[in-house]
Every structure is written in C-alpha cells, then in structure tokens.
Amino acid sequence: MPSYKLYYFAGRGRAELPRLMFKEAGVPFVDERITDWPNHKAEMPFGQMPVLEIDGFKLSQTGAIVNYLARELKLIDTKCNLSHAKVEELLGAAGDCMQNLPYFEKDAEKKAATVKEIMEGKVIPTFEKLEGKVAGSTTYLKEFSFADLAVLAFVDSLNDFDSSVIGRFPKLKKVYDSTAARPKVAAYLATRPKTPF
C-alpha cells in the first residue's frame, strides 16, 4: 500500500470526498490541513489544492484524485466503465451546483438572495434529475460505491447553505442517511473538525 498524504485547507470543500473514501476503505492517510497557504502555494503542482501525495508524487485536481482513489481503494466496480462514468456524471453535476455559492459573502441579505437563486435555478432542478437516477434502495448505483460518499459530501456542502432542500428528495435522502450511518463513515463524521464549509 502506498503512503498517502492529502493536502487541503482546514475545511471540507473539495477534499472531503477523498477523506471519506480513505475512511470508508480503512486506509491510513495523512490529513494535512494547511493554515499558512502562502508558504505552500509554490509547492503545489498547479498552485492549488487538494493535492494527493502518493509515495512522494503530488497528484492535483479533485477529479483525478477521486477517480484514482475509487479504483485504488476498490470503491467502484473496475470492470464496469459505465458505472464509473455514472459517478463522474454525478460529480460533474454536483460540482456545477457548488460553483457559484456565496462562500465568503458577509452581507446576510445578499447571501440569502444568492442562495435562493442558486437553489431554485440550479440545485433543485439538478436534484430532480439525480433523484430519477438513484438505482438502489439505499445506494446511488445498484451497489455501494464512491457515488454514495459523493452524495454525502455534496449534500453536506449544500446543507451549509440550505438544509431544507434534501428533504424533498426521498431517494437521495435515503442514500445520504444510509451512507452517513456506515460504521467507518459515522465514526469519522462524529469526530471530524467542525468547519463552516
């Protein structure tokens, strides 16, 4: 097993899915939370994080990291390209929803208006589509995969802005609840640092 170090800021953000994947797989990794970013930016291949160091090699880009880990940690059926592509589709749709949310807006009124606009214009229509794609009774694909961890991370991030939306989508809510209740995931959720996003 290679030695893994995951670099990110002290938040969930783009690193939470890789963290959840390590936790679910029970594979150790160093969860390096950078708090003095200007001192480290130049050390990262594209001057951004997350970065996953694999035996000293630094891999950038969330998509590359997550897809590498999915295969490496056996969180997808590697014989079924279509299953993997379905999870990439989910990740793309989730990424589009997360893009313009007002992470750093201080004005509460402006923030609420932007959140409402994005929830109604983008997130809810996306959830409507994703709800129709849920294939298992407690899993996004027919069987457990990193798609379920992606749903958990995605919904958690949206809940930071509006936690009422997921209740309107019973199939996705069931995937979210079942994934959060998986023993290794639940143990991690109970102890992970509390951060605003």
Ligand X SMILES: N[C@@H](CCC(=O)N[C@@H](CS)C(=O)NCC(=O)O)C(=O)O
Question: Which of 7, 12, 13, 147 forms a contact with ligand X (CB under 6 A)?
Answer: 13
Q: With CB under 6 A, what is the number of residues at the site for ligand X?
A: 9
Contact pattern for ligand X over residues 26 through 55, marking x by CB under 6 A: ---------------x-----xxxx-----
CB of 9 to ligand X, least distance (A): 6
CB proximity list for 54: less than 8 A, separation 6 or greater? 2, 3, 4, 68
Question: Which of 4, 6, 12, 14 forms a contact with ligand X (CB under 6 A)?
Answer: 14
Does 137 sit near ligand X (CB under 6 A)? Answer: no
CB of 124 to ligand X, least distance (A): 24
What is the binding site for ligand X (CB under 6 A)? 13-14, 41, 47-50, 61-62
